[in-house]
Chain A
Amino acid sequence: MADLTVKLGNLILKNPVMTASGTFGYGMEYHNFFDISRLGAVVVKGIRMEVSDGNPTPRVAEVTGGMINAIGLQGPGVDKFLHDEHYMPFLRKVGATTIVNIWGKSLEEYGEVAAAMDSESDGISALEINISCPNVKEGGAAFGTDIKLAQSVVAMVRKNTKLPIITKLSPNVTNIGDFACAAVDAGSDMVSLINTLGAMAIDIETRRPKIANVCGGLSGACVKPVAIKMVYDVAKRVKVPIIGMGGIMNAADAIEFLIAGASAIAVGTANFINPMATIEIIDGINEYLDRHNIKSVSEIINSVRL
């Protein structure tokens, strides 16, 4: 049994396997399959101040090797998230290491959400700032693809919380490394990448887009090579820990991200097909390390041989 603990700055995780925001609900659904406190961390679906309806349907379309989604960040709002038994109180009760993904429609709202989480931070291990959702007009992508706005969001959240901050980066930019550096300069303790890639699919019989929002974000196995390169690029630019994601379906994929430069990884679309994917990935990483006589997972992080 290798040592799977990873240190992300001051945040220590029992293993490097987390869930990708929006693909794991608020944890409860998957707790029927396994004890979610076994995960490195549970990253919950994006939360803003108010209740949020999300986009019209259809919201998803399958494509070769992946899917396009435009869920549009449906969510219960801060108050319900912090106090309703299905959300934070549940995660606290089962002892899950919890990271809250936050977003807002304005700069001020990002600050308000961060402050609200900070004031009741019992059980919250970190905040992940979502400035990269391609599916909401206000907030989301608008902040994540403009370097100055991205920086001001991070600075605003920094001002309102003592919790560790992870900035989730959009791949829909010319140079993701520049955004990573900007986030770190503004006070981000870590970066996570990638969010979904802007994408579209059309039904040729009706000539209509396959999802109601017209465009959405691509995820799943098909995005992995793109995500690996971005993690590799960002690892060369920043010293802070990187959380890698995009198309991780099994332990081999997860290990590839660690080697490319990620200190932890997140599993998204794979949860939809195999609810046990995260647990199988933890076991698979351990087996790989044992097979290679490596004592600690930290030895393979950022270890690509050129």
Chain B
Amino acid sequence: MKFGTILKNENFKSDYYEIVFYHPEIAAAARAGQFVHVQIDEISSRMLRRPFSIHDTDIEKGTVTVVYKVVGDGTKRLSGKKVGECCDLLSALGNSYSDVAPDEYPIIIDGGYGAAATYILAKNSPVKGSFLFGARGERDVILTEKYQALNWDVKIATNDGSVGHQGLVTDLIAKVIEENPGKKFKFFACGPHPMLIALTKILMQQNLDGEISLDHVMCCGIGACFACVVKVNADNEQKWRYARSCSEGPVFNVKEVYIGD
């Protein structure tokens, strides 16, 4: 089955929408961190697909939920779609986050719509961990209540100080570590590239384990075009190679991520 029927498409805050598709196959197959590649325009010659993280699934109801921010033409058109309309969906694409092990303390660090990508991970985790969320300001603080409802410890940082700590989300890491002495930490993150690279550096310095979702502008979404590459460590002279974030990622262990330049 190619098409997902839209059951809901609602603006829940500022530029953010939640869209729910009926697509039992994807709902059953999807794992945390994977994405769905959406054909927004029904005339295929007019627009490339757009990738979105799978935010949540309900296997019994056969639904797949995506949370998106309107940033350009594609997401604007998506926001105008009505309940009952269909979209051609390719999924579940990409690799996924590892499951949280019972002896680990999970710390999720997200920026902006990155909060959408880690929700299934938190929902399925055997341990309630900490959810650290960063955004520019109040307008972009999203989904924190959903992590709260899972009884996770939620901490927020905003650049303008309108909610929570004023500063960067990575500033909050030290506090969480201090509050949870003796635990085996495992970090999971999704958000803007600079945030993820900063986080990778911190984790590598402190010898902490983590997985980040490094998304990049995509085209085919299945590993065929080499548009979406990110630098990963490699056993060659220059010490890096380009890996396709759609098929070899989007989730990479911080040990794999090249932070040279």
Contact = CB atoms under 8 A, between A and B. Distances in A.
B225 A273 contact: no
B224 interface: yes
A24 B242 CA distance: 18
Nearest to A73: B226
B220 A272 contact: yes
Interface string A41-68: 0000100000101100111101001010
B216 interface: yes
Contact of A65 (B45, B221, B223, B224): B45
Contacts of A272: 48-49, 219-221, 224-225
A22 B229 contact: no
Given A23-B225, A24-B224, A71-B225, A220 B219 contact: no
A32 B90 CA distance: 12
Interface centre among A22, A45, A65, A272 (most CB of B within 10 A): A272
Contact of B247 (A29, A65, A69, A74): A29
The DSSP consensus for interface residues of chain A is loop
Interface string A28-43: 0110100000000000
A22 B225 contact: yes
Interface in A57-92: 57-60, 62, 65, 67, 69, 71, 74
B226 to A, nearest CB: 5
Contact of B229 (A29, A74, A271): A74
Question: A45, A69, A273, A277: which has the most chain B beta carbons within 10 Å?
Answer: A273
A271 B220 CA distance: 8
B101 interface: no
A96 interface: no
A249 B230 CA distance: 29
B224 A249 contact: no
In this complex, the interface size class of chain A, counting residues with CB under 8 Å from chain B, is: 20 to 34
Contact of A54 (B221, B224, B242): B242
Interface residues of B, number: 26
A62 B47 contact: yes
Contacts of A25: 223-225
Nearest to B222: A29
Contacts of B225: 22-23, 25, 60, 69, 71, 272
A69 B224 CA distance: 14
Contact of A67 (B216, B219, B226, B236): B219
A290 B247 CA distance: 40
A59 B224 contact: no
A53 to B, nearest CB: 6
A62 B72 CA distance: 12
B217 A60 contact: yes
B217 to A, nearest CB: 5
Nearest to B238: A53
A275 B223 CA distance: 12
Interface of B: 39, 44-49, 88, 90, 216-217, 219-227, 229-230, 236, 241-242, 247
Given A62-B47, A273-B48, 6 more contacts: A23-B225, A65-B46, A67-B219, A71-B226, A221-B46, A274-B44
